[in-house]
Amino acid sequence: MTGSDDLRHATPPLVAGLDVTAKAGLVMLLVVSLLFPDLGNVEDKAAGLRAIAYPVLAFTVPVVWWVFWRERASFPWVADLMITSTCFTDTLGNRLDLYDSVVWFDDLMHLMNTGLLTAAVLVLTMRHRSTFAAVLERSLAFGVTAAVGWEIAEYFAFISKSSERRHAYADTLGDLALGSLGAVIAGVVVHGLWRRGLLVSAAPQLEPYVASAGEIGRDPREIASQA
C-alpha cells in the first residue's frame, strides 16, 4: 500500500459510510419536502430555501476537496460528516414533526448543530497544536457569527410572516445563547481531543513531500518557484 492509500484509509469506514448515508438521506428528505410539503412538515418553513442551502452546505467540502486538494490531501470524512449531520438532523426533525411535538428539540438543534459546524471548521482550518485560546477565539468567531446568520435567515424566511413573530425576540435571544454555548463546547472538546492525540487524523492529511534526486542540495526557494 502506498503512502497515498494510507492517507485515504486513515478514517474508519464507519465514518465514511455514515457520511454517505446522511447525504443520501438528506437529498431524499428534501425531495419529499418539496413534492409533499405537508408530509415533510415544512409548509411555511422555507422549504425551497432549505432545498437549495442544505445541499450546497453538505457538498461544499467534497467539491472544494475535489477541485483543490484531492491530489495532495486525504478526504476529511469526520468534518464532512459533522457538516452534513447538521442539515440532515434539521430536515429529519421537521419530517418527524419534532419541532412542534417536542418542546426542547429546537433548543437541542441550535446547541448541537452550531457546535458541530464549529467543530468542523476547527478541524478543517486549525492545527492540532493550536493553543486553547486560539481555538476558543475561532470557535466564538465562527459559532456566534453562524448563530446570528441563522437567526436573520430564519426571521426573513418564515418567522416574519407567521404568528410566531410576537415571541421572536425572546426565542432569538435563547437561540443565540445556545448557539454560542455550542460553539464554546465544540472548542473545548476539540482542543481536549487534540491534547490527547485524538481527532488529529480527522483533518486533511497532506501527502509527504519527497525530494527527487535532482532536487537534493538545491535551494528550497528555487524549487518552490519552479513548482
Q: What is the pLDDT of residues 160-198, one digit of tens each?
A: 555 555 556 667 888 899 999 999 999 999 999 999 988
Is the per-residue pLDDT at 56 higher than 70? yes
**Cβ neighbours of residue 112 under 8 Å, at least 6 residues apart?**
89, 182
Q: CB atoms < 10 A from the CB of 20, how many? A: 14
> Does 126 fall in a domain?
yes
Tens-place pLDDT, residues 90-145: 999 988 989 889 999 999 999 999 999 999 999 999 998 999 999 999 999 999 99
The DSSP code for 167 is: G
Are the beta carbons of 79 and 116 closer than 8 angstroms? no
Residue 19's nearest CA partner among 76, 64, 69 is 76
Are the beta carbons of 118 and 85 closer than 8 angstroms? no
SS3 73: strand
- Give the per-residue pLDDT at 49: 81
Is the per-residue pLDDT at 48 higher than 80? no
Q: Could you tell me the three cell numbers for 157?
A: 424566511
The mean of the pLDDT values for the chain is 82
Which residues constitute the domain of residue 25?
Answer: 3-206
Tell me the whole-structure pTM to 2 decimals.
0.80
The count of structural domains within the chain is 1
> Does 80 fall in a domain?
yes
For cell 457538516, what's the residue?
83
> Does 222 fall in a domain?
no
Are the beta carbons of 76 and 207 closer than 8 angstroms? no
Task: Kindly state the helix (H) or strand (E) to which residue 58 belongs, with its residue range.
Answer: helix 47-64
